[in-house]
Amino acid sequence: MKYFLFFFGFTLICRRGWTFILANKRIFYQNCEIFNNVDLYDGPVCGSDGITYANDLYLDCVNYQTFQNVISMHSGYCLPVDDYCKINLFYRPICGSDGRTYTNLESLSCVNYNRSQNVTVALSGPCKVMGRCYSYKTLSYGSNGVCANNGLTYGNVAQVNCLRQINVDLKILHNGSCTVREVYDIYDSVEKICDIANSRFEWNPVCASDGVTYHNPFKFLCYKARDLKTLVSDNECEKNTQLSCAHLKSSTKTFSAKDEVCGNDGVTYQSIHHLQCHNNQNKYLSLKHSGACVEPDDNPCRSIPEESLRFPVCGSDNLSYVSPEALWCAKLRFPDKSELILLGLYKLQPLKAIMSEISYKFSSNITIP
């Protein structure tokens, strides 16, 4: 009988990413120890609490029995860094003794470990002066986008001039947004492009031949593997969100599994049209890949950016999160937040985000502010 349960469970698990649906959890999760074996179900994983669990299924069972919400951060045993870099989803800013604002205490601890430094907490809340850029009052210059030689588009000239104090190699290429071709020429590998695409939000829309609007050239080049032939224009596809919503209302098509796509929020959508229509409510939502999302790899909890790449957002629960990924993680992780909606950026974000990205570097020797 036990062999049958394992066999039946295995077929369910394979389809659902090493987890059971709630109805089956009541049956199979009565004794977690039967799953406590590192030789089963792809082996050990490191939990967000810094503890190594035998496998994803054992972790899911422990969560079910103890009413916890520990998530799988990566495959394999936990490393020393995992003990110092525990994830706190919530934006609870503190001012470090180095004059920089950190999104929360856990993030400061992680930065200290990774950089072998000993920054302490100077005060609770954001630093009164987050950096020299504040003296330039860059936001007062309005939004007049410029393209820099790192492929990123900045809000105005003042932001770039401010950042040049720290990165003297940063230069303005021209007024207006950076194009796909420019980003393509700057970066010599898909890995670098995808690293930025998955870690930094930038609204500089690009239209592809499949009718999909990508948030920026990095997203486009990452998903299209640097294939410029599929580029339609360096602009948003014509009302793609509205067209997708209209298409769904008028279409009689029955969507199948082959139409499914995975969003960067960790949700599987019935088709690209469903995702784009939903994008009308969430501009941070984008296509991650074709096909259904797979746990735990596509869980947004695994995509929360490091401190230097975060920009806090506000949720409909009146709480602030360190990034859109953190909010989506909370939505999936906590049952009482299943209806959580991203309302917008945290109001102090713009300059903080600009300053916090200064240390992000690539082998091209171009610092990405």
Number of helices and strands in the chain (H, E): 13, 20
Q: Are 126 and 358 in contact (CB under 8 A)?
A: no
Report pLDDT for 362.
Answer: 31
Task: Output the CA torsion sign for 317, 107, 69, 303.
Answer: positive
pLDDT of residue 312: 87
265-321 residue pLDDT tens: 999 999 988 988 887 667 788 888 999 998 888 989 988 988 878 888 889 999 999
Q: Is the pLDDT of residue 153 over 50?
A: yes
Q: How far apart are CA 351 and CA 349, in angstroms?
A: 6
Structure tokens at 13: 């698990």
Cα 332 from chain centroid (whole Å): 14
What's the whole-number mean pLDDT along residues 83-106? 90
Residue 343 · residue 281 · CB < 8 Å? no
Q: What is the mean pLDDT of residues 237-250?
A: 72
Residue among 155, 287, 154, 159 at smallest CA distance from 215: 287
pTM given for the model: 0.62
What type of residue is 360? Y
pLDDT tens, residue by residue, 332-369: 888 788 889 888 766 543 333 333 333 333 333 333 34
As a whole number, mean pLDDT of residues 77-81 equals 90
Helix (H) or strand (E) holding 194: helix 190-197
Residue 61 has pLDDT above 80, yes or no: yes
Chain centroid to CA 71: 15
Distances (CA, A) of 341 to 27, 129, 239, 297, 317: 33, 31, 23, 23, 8
* The residue type at 82: D
Virtual CA dihedral for 275, 277, 280, 283, nearest 10 degrees? Answer: 20
